[in-house]
A and B are shown apart, each in its own frame.
Chain A
Amino acid sequence: MAWVIYISFAGAFISALLPRAKPTLARWWALLVAVAGLVIAVAGYAAGMSQGRQVFIDVHWVPSMGIHFLLAADGISRVLILLTGIASVAGVLFSWNIDLRTNQFFAFYLALIGGVYGVFLSGDLFLLFVFYEIAIVPKYFLISIWGSTRREYGAMKLALYSFVGSAMVLIGLLAAYTMAGSHSTTLGYLAHAGLPVDFQLWCFPLVFIGFAILAGMWPFHTWAPTGHVAAPTAASMLLAGVVMKLGAYGCLRVGIGLFPHGLDTWGFSFLGIGSWRDVFAWLAVIGIVYGALVALAQTDFKFVIGYSSVSHMGFVLLGLMTLNQIGVDGAVLQMFSHGVIAGLLFAIVGRIVYDRTHTRQFAELEPMHLSRRLPFAAWAFVFAGVASMGLPGFSGFVAELQVLVGAWQANPWWTIASGIGIIVGVAYVWRALQKAFFSDALPTPHELESEHLHKFAPITWPEYAGVALLGISTLVVGLYPRILLDQIEPAVRALLAGGAQ
C-alpha cells in the first residue's frame, strides 16, 4: 500500500518531464497514475479488511534523532487512502480540459496527491509533518497559476494560513519530542511516553488548532471559501475533498492520539466551558451553523459550496470532540462522505457549469435555464445536493447522524444547536438548485435565439465518468455504511483506548 506514495511522486516527476506540446499525453499519464493509485488503495483496503494496524516499512531515517521512515495504516488511514484514490481519479477526469502547461499542472497535482497519501500513511510524527508541508506547496502553485477569481490573493491566503498552522504544529511537535526524552518521533512511542498532564493541556490546543486551521474550523476558516473559489476545479475538489481532511486527520491522530489529557477539564469553568474539549466543540458547532447561514446568503455559486464545506467539516470536528466511539466513527465517516460529496459539487459547479457558462453568479445563471440546456448538470446537482443535505440513502446521513448521536451522549446542546445547521443546509442547497438550474423565469424570444446560436459544448466522457465515480461512492456508502464502518470502528476503538492509558 505504501506504493501509492511512490508512484504518485514518480508520476509527478515524469509528468514534469513530458513534452509540453502534447497535453493529451500528460492527461493520460496522470489518469494512469491516479487509477493505479486507486487500484492499490482498493486492493490495500480489501486486504486490510480483517486486520488491525499494518506496518509497511520501518527503517531508521535520521538515527541520531530517532526519526523513522515508518509507513503504517490502520482502518482510519485505509478509509482516507481510499478517499484520496477516488478523489484523485475524479480530479484528473475533471481537469481534462486544462490546456495551459498541462504537464506541469499534473506534476503539481500528482505531487499534492503523493503528499496527501504520505500524511495518511505516516507512522512517525516528523515524517507526517514533512508530507504535510509537501502538500502545501503544490496547492499554492495550482491555485496561483491555474486559478480564477483573485487567484493570487486566494493562493497567498491559503498558503499563509497553512504555514501558520504548520508552525504551531511544529512547535508542538518539538515540545513533545523534547518532553518525551528525545528518543524517537514515532507516534507509537510518543503516545506511550507518558507526557505530563500539564504539558498536554497547553500543547494540545496548539497542535489541535494548528491542524484544525486546515480543517476549516471557525474562526480560522476564512482561507477556505476564497481558496476554494480561486482554485481550478480539480484543486478545489482536492482542497475540499482531501486537504481539509489532512487537518482533521492531524487533529485526530496527533492531537487526540498524542495528547489525550489535553482534553481533561481545566479544573475551573467559565460560562459552562471547562475544558479545551468544550471550546473546540462549540467552535465546531458555530462553524456548522455559521457556514450554513453564510452559504444561504451567497450570490456566487462556488461560494455556496465553499461555505458548505466549512459547515460540513464542522461535523467532523464536533464528532472528534465527542470522544466516544459512535461520534468519532461518525467523524471519520464524515471525512470520507464530505470528501466525495464536496468533490462532486465542486466538479459540477466549477467544471461542468462554469466552463460552459463562464459565470458563477446566480443572477446571470438564472436566465440561462440550465435545467433545459444542461440537463445532465442539473440532475447531477440534484443528486449531489440531496446527498449534501444529508438525506437518508447517501453517505452524509449516516455520518452526520452518528456524529449527532455521539454529541448527544456528550452534551445534548451540541446536537440541538447543530440541528439548526442541518435545516439551514436543506435551505441553501435548495436555493442554489432553484437559482442556478430551475429558475421560473420564462425565456424571452431574444434569449431563445441566443441559446440557439450559442449551444453549450456537450458533456464529455471524462465528466460522465467522474460524476459516476463520485456518485456511486456516496450511494454505496450511504446504502451500506458497514463497508467503511467495519474498518473504522476497531481503529477508533484502539485509538480511544490508547488515549485512556
Chain B
Amino acid sequence: MNAIASGFPILTVITVLPLVGAMIALLVGKHARGVALVTSFACLVIALLIWVSLPTDGSIGLVELHPWAPSLGVEYHLGVDGLGALMLLLSAIVTLMSVDASHRVHHMPGLFYSLILMLESGLFGTFTALNFFHWFLFWELSLIPAFFLIKLWGGPRRGPAATQFFVYTMAGSVALLLSFLAVFLSTGTKSSPGTMDFGILAAMSASGGLAQMVTAHMGAVMPWLAVGVLAGFAVKVPLVPFHTWLPAAYAEAPSPVTMLLTGAMSKMGVYGLLRIALPIFGPQIAAMRAPLLVLAVATIVMGAWAAAAQKDLKSVFAYSSVNHLGYCLLGIFALAVPVSGAAQQASQAAALNGVILQMFNHGLTAAAIFWFIAMIQFRTGGLRGIDDFGGLRKPAPVFAGLMGIVLFSSLGLPGLNSFVSEFLIFRGTFPLSWISATVSVLGLLVTAIVILTVIQKVFTGPVPERWVNFPDLHHSERIALAPVIVLMFIIGLAPRLILDTINPTVMHLLSHWRF
C-alpha cells in the first residue's frame, strides 16, 4: 500500500510540522493547548500514513537525499524502515498523550506547549535522519526543550534535577560527537572530506574497511570509539551505571513531561544502538559483549530492586522504566555475536523483533502509567506517596480498573502488549546467552512484586476517610484513555499487526550487520 505520492517529502513535513506548531503556540499563548492538540494529532495521522507506506522488503524507504554542506560531506538524508516508522508512531502517540495530560499547566502555557512540540520535532528528526550531522542536530535539539520543561515546570528540586539531566546527557553527547569526529576524519582523504552517512559507514564497517582506515589514521582506537558511542546512548537509555540522573529527572519533571522522557526520549538511546552503534561498530561491540551483558543484566535486576525500595509512585515507575529498558539492552547485546546455523539466526531475529516491539510497548505503557499518576496528583493536590492511599477501588472503580490494566501490562501479563515483546526477547536471548537470560528472570519476578504491591497499597484495603469521595474518571478522561488501552490489548492479542511490518526490517538489518 502506498498512501504517499512518490517524491513527496513526508519525513520533512512531519519533522517541521511540530516546529511550526511550536511557533504558533508561542504566539497564541492562552490557546496554545488547542494548537498543540491539533498539531500532535496531525503528526499522528502522518506517522500512520508513513507506517503503511513502508517498503515491504524491510529496507529504508521514503528517502530524501539532497546535498547540504558538500565541503563537510554532509547531506540532507532522511529515510525510515520499520524501526524508524514505529518510533515515529510511538513519538506521535506519546506526544498526543502528553499534551492531553497537560491540561493542568496554567503557568506560561504558550511556552510549555511550544517546548513540548519542539521536543516532538527533535524526536521525529532523530528517528528519520541518516546522516550523523543532521541526526546530531535533532538529538541535541530534543535535549534543550526537555531541560527547560524540567527546569521551569518541575517539582521542588527541579533545579539540580534539570542540571544533572543536562550534564549527563551532554557528557554522553560529547563522547558520541568525538567518536564520530574521529570516524569522519579517518574516512576523509586530502582531496575529499570524510563521510558521516550511516548507510555508507555501515557498509564500510561490514566490509572491514572502516576499522582499517581508522587504524591507519590514528592507531588502534576503534574499540575506544565504540565505547564513546556506547556511552552516549547508555546515558540516554539508561544503562547502569549511567542511570543516576534518571530518578531525579523523572520524579521532578511534571508528569506529562515524564511521559515524554520515558515514553519517547529513552527510545532515542535504544534506537541509536540499533541504527548507529551495531551497524557501524558491530565487531567492537561483539568483542565487549560479556561486560555489556553484565551491565544489561545489572540494569534489569537493580532497576527492579530499586523500584521495590521506593515510596514515591513516580520514583517506583522511574526505576521500573530502567528495568524495562534493560530488557531491550539485554536483547541487543545478546544478539551482538557472530552466529552460525538457522537456529541461532532465528534466535537473533526473535530477540531483535522483541527489542523493537518492547521499545514501542514500554513507551506506550510507561507513558500511560505516568498519565494515571498525573490524574492521581490532580485529584489529590499533588500527593503521590505509595502509602498515602488505600482502597481507591471502592470510590473510583473505573479508575482502578483501567489503571490496573495498564499496571498489568507493565507486569507482563499475557494478553497484554508487554508480554509479547518480553517473551520474544527471552526466547531470543536464552539460546545466545543462557546465563544472562536466566539471571534476568529475577528482574521479572521482582517487577511483579513491585507492581502487585502498588496495586495492593493504592487500590485495595480500607478506604481512608479523606479518599471516600475520590472522583472516578470522568467521560473525557475515559474517552482519551480508551484508545491507548485498546491498543495494549490489540498488540497483546494480535502482535502480528506490528510484527508483520517490523519482521522484514529485522531480517534486512540482521543480514547487513557483521559482528
Residues of A within 8 A of B (CB): 325-326, 329, 371, 375, 382, 386, 391-393, 398, 401-402, 404-405, 408-409, 412, 415, 419, 423, 426, 430, 434, 438, 440, 480-482, 485, 489
Contact = CB atoms under 8 A, between A and B. Distances in A.
Interface in B167-206: 170, 174, 178, 181, 184-185, 188, 190, 193-194
Contacts of A375: 108, 111
A482 B68 contact: yes
A405 B140 contact: no
Given A325-B71, A329-B71, A434-B163, 17 more contacts: A326-B71, A326-B193, A375-B108, A382-B148, A391-B137, A393-B140, A393-B141, A402-B71, A405-B72, A405-B185, A405-B193, A408-B185, A409-B188, A412-B185, A426-B170, A482-B70, A485-B69
Contacts of A391: 137, 140
Contacts of A408: 185
B194 to A, nearest CB: 8
Contacts of A402: 71-72
B99 to A, nearest CB: 21
A430 B166 contact: yes
A160 B218 CA distance: 45
B322 to A, nearest CB: 26
Contact of A398 (B69, B140, B144, B151): B69
Contact of B218 (A325, A404, A412, A426): A412
Contacts of A480: 68
27 contacts: A326-B72, A326-B193, A371-B152, A375-B108, A382-B148, A391-B140, A392-B134, A392-B140, A393-B137, A398-B69, A398-B72, A401-B181, A402-B72, A405-B184, A405-B185, A405-B193, A409-B188, A412-B185, A415-B181, A423-B174, A430-B166, A434-B163, A440-B158, A482-B67, A482-B68, A482-B70, A485-B71
Give the interface centre of A329, A401, A412 by most chain B CB atoms within 10 Å. A401
B136 interface: yes
A382 B137 contact: no
Contacts, number: 63
Nearest to A394: B137
Given A392-B133, A423-B174, A430-B166, A438 B151 contact: yes
A405 B188 contact: yes
Contacts of A438: 151-152
A29 to B, nearest CB: 33
A401 B136 contact: no
B221 to A, nearest CB: 11
Interface residues of B, number: 34
Contacts of A386: 144
B27 to A, nearest CB: 13
Contacts of A423: 174
Contacts of B188: 405, 409
Contacts of B385: none
B163 A401 contact: no
Given A382-B144, A402-B71, A392 B193 contact: no
Nearest to B159: A440
B140 A482 contact: no
Nearest to A481: B69
